[in-house]
Amino acid sequence: MYSTLIIAYLFLGGAAGGGFLVMAAWSLAFHRRAPYRSDRLRTAFRTLKSAVYTACTAILAISMICLWWDLEMPDRALLIFLIPRPTVLTFGAVVLACELGLGILLTLANLFHSRLLGGAVKRVLETLCCLCSVAVMAYTGIFLMSNIGVPLWHTPALVGLFFFSALSSGISTVLLIDYFVQGQTYLLRATRPLQRCHLACLALEFLCLGAFVGATAANPKAAASLALITSPDLLPVSILGVIGLGIVIPFLVELYALLRKDCRTIPVSDFVCLVGACCLRWIVIVCGVH
């Protein structure tokens, strides 16, 4: 339990949930003004949606496989659905399954332009996807906080930290896919509002990180975990990985790009942001189960 597979689930599941939320919310907002958009922009946006929904569905499926494989008895996963109980694990299993189902439907709708899944039906699916994505992102933190036997994790600040980290990862995932799918085209220049959202998200993540560290320092039972985080072996990962790569560098690069009023030629901030998000989950797991 809480092996490398769990770290992979927390990272991939959070990034997928964040990517779904960003893409679905952006799509709903985009199509409200669709009649005023150029044909070129609408075509580019359809291409982006197809790529993002496909990628996020695949990433979420991989994260669920990691979670399932980490169970000591994987066959017990079916019992969660066959004999459901009001537990955190049941909540997580349901929202993950719903998110995967919605992801598959949205992928099919955008890849094959199905009339059955188009129009109002697609808007309903994307609205449900937004709601489900919020639950999936929150669950990555709730999954750990529910384990009262690990003092480092037993704080609501962890839920907020993982939520905003997942949202930041989702924004970075969408922007990375946009860069490699579209190149430096018209749509890439239309992502500036998303970059501003990324700045706000990183700021909120930093505040949650401060609250998490404060709660850990105030909890005597978490002293051993805090000592491990600040140990010579892990302190570089905590500072350079979690804070530097996960928050500070992406924030400064995004801010620089916005102030220059030009699109980014290389998505540096998005790549390092994902690395930092992975470092965060690794530190939290390793120091929690030391």
Q: Where are the domains of the chain?
A: 4-288
pTM score, whole prediction: 0.90
Which residue reads 């540096």 in tokens? 268
pLDDT at 143 over 90: no
Q: Is the pLDDT of residue 255 over 90?
A: no
114-131 pLDDT, tens digit each: 777 777 888 999 999 999
Q: Which residues contact 184 (CB under 8 A, 6 or more apart)?
A: 263, 265
Q: Enter the DSSP assignment of 150.
A: -
For 139, the 3-state DSSP assignment is helix
104 dihedral zone (left: phi>0; alpha: psi -120 to 50; beta): alpha
Closest by alpha carbon to 193, among 211, 206, 175, 214? 175
pLDDT band at 267 (very low <50, low <70, confident <90, very high): confident
The predicted pLDDT at position 127 comes to 95
CA separation for the pair 242, 225 (Å, rounded):
16
**CATH for the 4-288 domain, from 3.30.390.50, 1.20.1630.10, 3.20.20.60, 3.30.70.3270:** 1.20.1630.10
Q: Encode 65-89: b = buried (16+ Cβ within 10 Å), e = exposed.
A: ebbbebeeeeeebeebeeeeeeeee
In this structure, which amino acid lies at residue 247?
A: I
**What integer pLDDT is reported at residue 278 of this predicted model?**
95
Angle, CA 109 vertex, CA 169 and CA 30 arms, to 5°? 60
| Selected residue with higher pLDDT from 74 and 25 | 25
232 three-class SS: coil
Tell me the C-alpha distance between 88 and 107, whole Å. 28
Q: What is the pLDDT of residue 77?
A: 63
User: What average pLDDT is seen over the chain?
Assistant: 86
Q: How far apart are CA 55 and CA 61, in angstroms?
A: 10
